[in-house]
C-alpha cells in the first residue's frame, strides 16, 4: 500500500470524525423545513428485484422507522414507479402521529384512481408535467403541474409548490430514480439509507446515476450509523438545516 501524505491522513481522519454520532431524530425534530431521502437496500445496492419486488428487504424495525419518518413529515413523496410496483398506502398506521400528505411524481399521468395511494382519508397530490396530457381522474387528488427540465421534472418547483401549501418537511421515500434525482439536484438535506444483510445479484438500483471516471470524482459522505435489528441505518447529513 502507498504511504499516505499528512494531508491524505488528515482527510481520512476528518472522514472518520464525520462518522461521529448525532441523535437520529434530533435534526428532524429541530427543523421547521427539511427534505429527507430514504431507501432500504441490499448489501449490493439494490432496492427491488428485477420484477419490482421490494417487500421486504429490510426488517420490521426499519419499517417502523419509515412510518416514524412519515409521522415527522408534512408530505411524503414517491415516484410513479413505486406506486405501480408496490401500491403503497404511505400512511402512519404502525406508529402514532398523523399521516403526511401523499405526493406522487407522475410526470406523464400514468396513474388511475384504483391505486391505494388515492384511498383513505389522507390527502394526495399528483405532480404532472405541464406538457403532459390531461390526467385520468385520480379520485379526489389535486394535480399540480410543474415544468420539465432536461433531466426530468423541475424539483425546485415541486418543493416550492409544496411549500406554498405549508408542506415544508418533505420525506422522499423512493424509489431509486426519485431519491437520486433529488440528490443530484442538490435538494436533499439528509439521506437515510438502510443496508440489509442480503445479496440480490441484480434488480432496481438504489442510486441509478452515471459512473464516475475516477475515484477522486466520487462523492463522499460522512454518516452516523444505527442498528435497526439486523439492519444498519446510515444517517447522512448533506447540508446544514
Ligand X SMILES: NC(=O)c1ccc[n+]([C@@H]2O[C@H](COP(=O)([O-])OP(=O)(O)OC[C@H]3O[C@@H](n4cnc5c(N)ncnc54)[C@H](OP(=O)(O)O)[C@@H]3O)[C@@H](O)[C@H]2O)c1
List interacting residues with ligand X (CB under 6 A). Answer: 39-40, 47-48, 52, 54, 57, 78-82, 85-86, 105, 107-108, 110, 152-153, 155, 174-178, 181, 204
Q: Which is nearer to ligand X, 74 or 173 (CB)?
A: 173
| Residue placing its CB nearer to ligand X in the complex, 55 or 239 | 55
In whole angstroms, give the CA distance from residue 51 to residue 69. 27
DSSP string for residues in 54-115:
-TTSS-HHHHHHHHHHHHT-SEEEEEHHHHHHH------TTSSSPPPEEEEE-TT----TTS
Q: CB 149 → ligand X: shortest distance, Å? A: 8
Q: Positive or negative CA dihedral for 126, 130, 132, 136?
A: positive
- For 166, other C-beta atoms within 10 Å of its C-beta total 9
Any residues with CB less than 8 A from the CB of 125 and at least 6 apart, and which? 75, 101, 102, 103, 104, 141, 142, 143, 144, 162, 165
CB of 71 or CB of 159, closer to ligand X:
159
- Rank residues 52 and 120 by Cβ distance to ligand X and give the closer one: 52
Q: Is-contact 69 78, C-beta < 8 A? A: no
Measured CA to CA, the distance from residue 122 to residue 228 in angstroms comes to 28
What is the smallest separation between the CB atom of 166 and ligand X, expressed in angstroms?
22
Would you say 34 or 171 has its CB closer to ligand X?
Answer: 171
Choice between 100 and 176, CB closer to ligand X: 176
Nearest distance from C-beta of residue 75 to ligand X, angstroms:
14
Cross-strand pairs, 128: 145
Shortest gap between Cβ of 241 and ligand X (angstroms)? 23
Smallest gap from Cβ 206 to ligand X, in A, equals 8
Positive or negative, the CA dihedral 209, 185, 182, 58 is positive
**Whole-number minimum distance, CB 217 to ligand X, in Å?**
23
Amino acid at each position: 500500500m502507498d504511504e499516505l501524505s499528512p494531508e491524505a491522513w488528515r482527510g481520512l481522519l476528518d472522514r472518520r470524525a464525520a462518522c461521529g454520532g448525532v441523535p437520529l431524530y434530533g435534526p428532524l425534530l429541530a427543523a421547521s423545513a427539511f427534505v429527507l431521502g430514504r431507501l432500504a437496500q441490499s448489501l449490493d445496492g439494490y432496492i427491488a428485484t428485477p420484477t419490482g419486488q421490494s417487500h421486504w428487504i429490510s426488517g420490521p424495525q426499519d419499517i417502523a422507522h419509515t412510518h416514524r419518518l412519515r409521522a415527522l413529515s408534512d408530505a411524503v413523496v414517491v415516484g410513479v414507479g413505486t406506486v405501480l410496483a408496490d401500491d403503497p398506502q404511505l400512511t402512519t398506521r404502525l406508529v402514532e402521529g398523523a399521516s403526511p400528505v401523499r405526493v406522487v411524481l407522475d410526470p406523464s399521468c400514468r396513474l388511475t384512481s384504483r391505486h391505494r395511494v388515492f384511498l383513505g382519508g389522507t390527502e394526495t397530490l399528483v405532480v404532472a408535467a405541464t406538457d403532459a396530457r390531461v390526467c385520468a381522474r385520480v379520485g379526489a387528488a389535486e394535480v399540480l403541474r410543474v415544468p420539465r427540465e432536461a433531466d426530468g421534472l423541475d424539483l425546485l418547483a415541486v418543493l416550492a409548490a409544496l411549500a406554498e401549501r405549508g408542506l415544508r418537511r418533505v420525506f422522499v421515500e423512493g424509489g431509486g430514480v426519485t431519491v437520486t434525482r433529488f440528490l443530484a439536484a442538490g435538494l436533499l438535506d439528509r439521506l437515510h439509507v438502510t443496508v440489509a444483510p442480503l445479496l440480490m445479484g441484480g434488480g432496481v438500483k438504489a442510486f441509478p446515476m452515471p459512473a464516475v471516471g475516477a475515484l477522486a470524482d466520487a462523492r463522499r459522505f460522512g454518516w452516523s450509523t444505527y442498528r435497526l435489528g439486523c439492519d444498519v441505518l446510515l444517517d447522512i447529513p448533506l447540508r446544514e438545516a
